[in-house]
Amino acid sequence: MSTHGTAADRRLDVLRAIVEDYVTTREPVGSRVLAERHRLGVSPATIRNDMAVLEEEGLIAQPHTSAGRVPTDKGYRLFVDRLAEVKPLSQPERRAITSFLDGAVDLDDVIVRASRLLAHLTQQVAVVQYPSLRRSGLRHLELVPVEGSRLLVVVITDTGRVVQRTLELSSDVDEESLARLRARLNAACLGRRLPEMRTALESLPEQFVPEERPLLREISDLLVHTLGLESDERIVLAGTSNLARSGMRFEHALRPVLEALEEEVVLLGLLTEMTEDSAGVAVRIGHEMPHVGLSETSVVTAGYGAEGDAVALLGSIGPTRMDYPQTIAAVRAVARYLTRIITT
């Protein structure tokens, strides 16, 4: 948002200055303060005229009878859309991410650590989605006979998810048949995602003798059902207390925000809506949020996983009066490190 001399560019600089000051001070910003704090190169009278135009355009508003102005959701949106650059995280912050996440022992630990780390970096609420089973590929399938005529089916994905399901068999199976079935299922489905796996499984029966095909069909149906479960989506939330400590940031009560955050289905719906933007960093601001309880918040999300093909999202939720450049930098950095961990 550098000044290029035109009135429109100058007004963008005034908007940027209002956003930055309001984020820092939590106080409505007046023209005299802008003239003193920022090198806008124009008089306070010109700044007042620019603020009047910004107010007419719905980018800033006067919350009370004071002379100060605050950004609106529309103003924050323009500010975010015109961000020329995002301040990178400091070297100590990057080192902290690396050391903290590299110490994780399994996927559950990675997800929990990532959520706590992001909440610490942003001082807001962090939400991290587990890798979706539907967007993960198969790394290994294990078939373990258990007591009675039951079979434990263990699915290990290339994103580190481990899912166990018990299958009640219609008849007993010998170890030789089970070993053959295990080997051929792994060979056919290795690395495949759900749509491809269905096709691979459909072509398998011809490789088995007729008496083995019913068991293959039972296991195939279980795999397709398990990997397609909507309800298997999981998220981890951290840093909710950060909002309580910064409750003054919300114009109205904090309670609707906390109630919305407690509804996992609300957060999953929000992340699902933002998945289409997961190739980069996505931002929803204020009334762009799908739930009324979150109308005074903003969320910044990024996808993680294989490049250009995210398996899940992570994000930071805070008041609309958040430090967008810092939050975007933190979300993007944690997503990149998470990607590195689950893809190596």
Per-residue pLDDT of the chain (344 residues; tens, 9 = 90+): 444 468 888 899 999 999 999 988 888 998 888 888 888 888 888 888 999 999 999 999 988 766 689 999 999 999 999 887 778 888 888 888 888 888 888 888 999 999 999 999 999 999 999 887 777 888 889 998 887 688 899 988 888 888 888 888 877 778 888 888 889 889 888 888 766 887 888 878 777 777 778 888 888 888 888 777 655 678 999 999 888 775 446 666 788 888 888 888 888 888 888 876 555 789 999 999 888 888 889 999 999 887 667 788 999 999 999 999 999 999 999 999 998 888 77
pLDDT at 250: 65
Q: How many residues does the chain have?
A: 344
- Residue 95 is which amino acid? R
pTM of the model: 0.81
Identify the structural domains of the chain with CATH numbers, from first to last: 7-81 (1.10.10.10), 91-132+233-342 (3.30.450.40), 134-230 (3.30.390.60)
Rounded Cα distance, 250 and 239, in Å? 16
Cβ neighbours of residue 44 under 8 Å, at least 6 residues apart?
31, 32, 34, 35
CB 305, CB 261: distance < 8 Å: no
Alpha helices in the chain (DSSP H): 7-25, 31-37, 44-56, 73-81, 91-102, 107-122, 175-189, 194-202, 213-227, 240-245, 255-262, 264-274, 324-342
pLDDT at 19: 94
Rounded Cα distance, 184 and 177, in Å? 11
- CB-CB neighbours of 102 under 10 Å: 12
CB 286, CB 314: distance < 8 Å: no
pLDDT at 276: 63
Strands 60-61 and 125-129: unpaired
pLDDT at 332: 92
Alpha-carbon separation of residue 246 from 176, 196, 239, 243 (angstroms): 62, 47, 12, 5
Rounded Cα distance, 240 and 113, in Å? 15
With 0-12 / 13-18 / 19 or more C-beta atoms within 10 angstroms meaning exposed / middle / buried, residue 271 is buried
Rounded Cα distance, 30 and 64, in Å? 12
With 0-12 / 13-18 / 19 or more C-beta atoms within 10 angstroms meaning exposed / middle / buried, residue 122 is buried
Q: Tokens standing for 291?
A: 């739930």
Rounded Cα distance, 198 and 204, in Å? 10
Longest dimension (CA), the chain: 89
Rounded Cα distance, 73 and 296, in Å? 9
